[in-house]
Amino acid sequence: MEADEEGDLIVRAAILAAVAIALAGTAGAQSVLPLRPLTDPSTSHSAATADGRPGEIGAIQYRRDDRAVTATPGFGEAGDRGVSRLTYFTPSLGGLHLGAGVGAVDPAFDNAGDGQGSSADVSALYAQRFGSVDLAVSGRVGLALGAGTDSSVGDLYAFGASVGFHGFTIGGSFADSTLGKDIGFTAGDSMGWDVGIAYNTGPWGFSLSYLAGERVDDGVAGGTGIAMGDGDTNKVVAGLRYRLGQGVDVGAFGAFVDPISPGEAEAGTSIGSDVEGFVIGTGIQVDF
Amino acid sequence: MKKVLLSTSALALVAAYTSNASAAEWEVRVGGYSTQQIGFATSDVDGLVDEDFDGVDTVSDTEIFFLPSITLDNGIRFGANVQLEGNSGGDQIDESFVFISGSFGRILIGSENSAGYIMKIGAPSVSVNGHNSGTLTAFIPFSGNAGSAASGGPVATGDDTFRGTLYSTNLENRRNNDVGRITYFTPRLVGIQVGFSYARDANEDNDIQVDENNAFGNFIDIGANYVQSFGPIDVAVYGRWGITASSPDGLDNSQVYGVGGTLGFAGFTVGASFAEQNNAGTDDGQSFDVGVAYETGPWGFSFSYLHGSNVDDENAAFGLDEEVDIFVAAVNYSLAQGVDLNVFGAYVDFEEDAGDGTGFDLEGDFVATSGNDVDGFVIGTGIALSF
């Protein structure tokens, strides 16, 4: 693989990381897309997901997919991919849900192989209807504790909100992940935010969403204690959905992805490996 | 396929949906098959010393299908098909796609074989272990490396048995198998059905956007078959063609062809097929099969033969090939719907132009070693459940 191609992948991974982090906001921007065309499990070593599904109870529902926050080893929070976990959700307390969980270190990221390390999360979601207005607000904090050879700390926090009325929903979210800050790791640190608006009427749904994400570029981070380059991106996605029947949605989408600023020089090159692209597509989703 | 509802989650899902006022309801079925074989095999591999591949062995092949579907009020049917391998392997879920079917035909989107593969018709067989795309390699080591260091091995035997011409006429272009693709089948009109498939790249189970610059890609496959009965005679024929619409500079597009047919009369079925792969490097080759089967009541009998030839991967640089002849005789007894007992016997004769170590010596002279040929025989029983 040529260096530029590798850089492209890394930047792309950074983009996707930001997408995933922002999507993870528990009550964030709304989308009617039947598909998530910008997620890419092939970048699992460095792309991100942080927590559960927008709008769901609590925030500690880790997806069992391949998108982990980082390849930085040894952090339960960082590389968490459906590891053994104990989670508790409270009942709804006047619309307020609380959740808390503790988990083990993901063996895939246990660099020392000593099985030591843990993670903890707390989250809150408030969802309530006031007349014809639906309101949802959520927040979460996660902490990863390395142990033994990998002794270090990482944290993650996110918050989001949405308001719905007369078929319209507007929302936004923010998420930030910091890894190994006490020993100077920077590769994998990331943050993202999104805003969006959706309109649903009968079988039709329309949405327009925007996401900005930033992530320390593994390709130029240079290892422990050296922060050199960042990858950042913005993206706009417009989508429509039509519900053909119960659990059968068809849709169309258009998306534009673009770096916010020119990328910094990749390791071994004099240029950043920026990626911009456009996609239009259709999709079908069946839920059963 | 027996329509079996999942006993727990599916019923719960159906119950949940039926609470809504809608004529259309989801049905989540589970189906699949399980085949277990017990056979005695004996094999000889040239190039090994005192090798021992003989004895009684078992072969297991199981898949579970998850089949949710719904028919909308307008008559169009939507559903998904996810096929889970019952034994651990590299491709744990192979086929996984959504389908849409109606009077307009049928559309498949997702991980599935091409139209040309799906529409294939060839030699009949009632064997639980087929002469064509079967699992005889599990009893007789004519695929991949055979032998251990204790026997002076391993040695490289046959290549490209799966979706390739050495053990199949069920080809896929460049052996791409269940890649992400879009397929459309027309309705069957006067016995004729046509299918079209497109896949941008040969990736299965990942969505990496492949750089098609200077690469084989844009797989197009077209298949057609004709199935008709003329009084007591049943006729079925098929043809297929597939091509990569793009290829590296200076190389021709990879192409795959196939034809086949069967003729049935009074319980007898005779059939044959032919397939060829071109411009695909070490995947290139040809294969054909012929067979006859007779079925009466619960009993079935068949005798089938396949000949496959293929570029010998380890000696491809010298333009050398390998080939195989496979004979399979089988008797099947159907105890009940989806419950079959089977007895089969198979003989495999694999030969290659030259064996491992072929090449140029220190004087620059070409030296071809003896081929790592494989002869093997297996007789076995099996039980096949399909549900």
Residue B199 · residue B212 · CB < 8 Å: no
Q: Residue A149: helix, strand or coil by DSSP?
A: helix
Residue A85 · residue A120 · CB < 8 Å: no
pLDDT score recorded for residue B385: 97
Q: For B15, which residue in chain A has the nearest alpha carbon? A: A288
Band (A101; pLDDT cuts 50, 70, 90): confident
pLDDT score recorded for residue A189: 73
Q: Pick from A40, A42, A247: which is nearest to B26 by CB?
A: A247
- What is chain A's length? 288
Q: Which residues contact B122 (CB under 8 A, 6 or more apart)?
A: B132, B169, B170, B260, B262, B271, B272, B273, B289, B291
pLDDT at residue A2 greater than cutoff 70: no
Cβ contact A244–B78 (<8 Å): yes
Tens of pLDDT, residue by residue over B29-43, are: 999 999 999 999 999
Band (A20; pLDDT cuts 50, 70, 90): very low
Cβ contact A40–B208 (<8 Å): yes
Question: pTM for the full model?
Answer: 0.80
pLDDT at residue A4 greater than cutoff 50: no
pLDDT at residue B15 greater than cutoff 50: no
Return the minimum-mean-pLDDT range out of A191-205, B234-248, B278-292. A191-205
pLDDT score recorded for residue A92: 87
Cβ contact A246–B25 (<8 Å): yes
Q: Residue A20: helix, strand or coil by DSSP?
A: helix
Per CB-CB distance under 8 Å, the chain B contacts of A244 are: 72, 76, 78
pLDDT at residue A269 greater than cutoff 80: no
Question: What mean pLDDT value characterizes chain A?
Answer: 66
Tens of pLDDT, residue by residue over B218-243, are: 999 999 999 999 999 999 999 999 99
Give dist(CA B182, CA B364) in Å, integer: 51
Nearest to B131 by CA among B292, B295, B255: B292
pLDDT at residue A69 greater than cutoff 50: no
Can you tell me the mean pLDDT for A9-19? 34
Per CB-CB distance under 8 Å, the chain A contacts of B26 are: 246-247, 288
pLDDT at residue A126 greater than cutoff 60: yes
Higher pLDDT, B338 or A33: B338
Return the minimum-mean-pLDDT range out of A222-231, B11-20, B122-131. B11-20
pLDDT score recorded for residue A115: 61
pLDDT score recorded for residue A188: 59
Higher pLDDT, B349 or B3: B349
- What is chain B's length? 387
Tens of pLDDT, residue by residue over A136-149, are: 999 988 887 765 55
- ipTM over 0.85? The verdict is no
Q: Pick from A40, A41, A245: which is nearest to B24 by CB?
A: A245
Tens of pLDDT, residue by residue over A200-236, are: 999 999 999 999 988 766 555 444 444 445 678 889 9
pLDDT score recorded for residue B1: 41
Per CB-CB distance under 8 Å, the chain A contacts of B100 are: 284
Cβ contact A284–B70 (<8 Å): no
| Amino acid, single-letter form, for residue B22 | S
Tens of pLDDT, residue by residue over B79-103, are: 999 999 998 878 899 999 999 999 9
Cβ contact A247–B25 (<8 Å): no
What are phi and psi for residue B135, nearest 5 degrees? Answer: -120, 30
Give dist(CA B170, CA B273) in Å, integer: 9
Strand pairing partners for A156? A142, A177
Cβ contact A284–B28 (<8 Å): no
- The tokens 């793009």 sit on which residue? B246
Per CB-CB distance under 8 Å, the chain B contacts of A246 are: 17, 20, 22, 24-26, 70
pLDDT at residue B166 greater than cutoff 70: yes
Band (A120; pLDDT cuts 50, 70, 90): confident
pLDDT at residue B119 greater than cutoff 60: yes
Q: Pick from A41, A244, A288: which is nearest to B207 by CB?
A: A41
3-42 of A, contacting B, C-beta below 8 A: 5, 40-42
Tens of pLDDT, residue by residue over B268-278, are: 999 999 999 99
Residues of chain B that touch chain A, judged by Cβ-Cβ distance less than 8 Å: 13, 17, 20, 22, 24-26, 28, 68, 70, 72-73, 76, 78-80, 98, 100, 109, 206-209, 211
Question: What mean pLDDT value characterizes chain B?
Answer: 93
Cα-trace Rg, chain B: 23
Determine contact: A91 vs chain B, CB below 8 A: no
pLDDT score recorded for residue A25: 33
Which tokens is B242 given?
């597939």
Q: Cis (ω within 30 of 0) for the bond into B248? A: no
* Per-residue three-class SS string for B167-212: CCCCCCHHHCCCCEEEEEECCCECCEEEEEEEECCCCCCCCCCCCC
Nearest to B81 by CA among A68, A288, A102: A288
Q: Pick from A42, A246, A284: which is nearest to B207 by CB?
A: A42
Residue A275 CA neighbour count, 13 Å, CB half? 22
Can you tell me the mean pLDDT for A141-161? 74
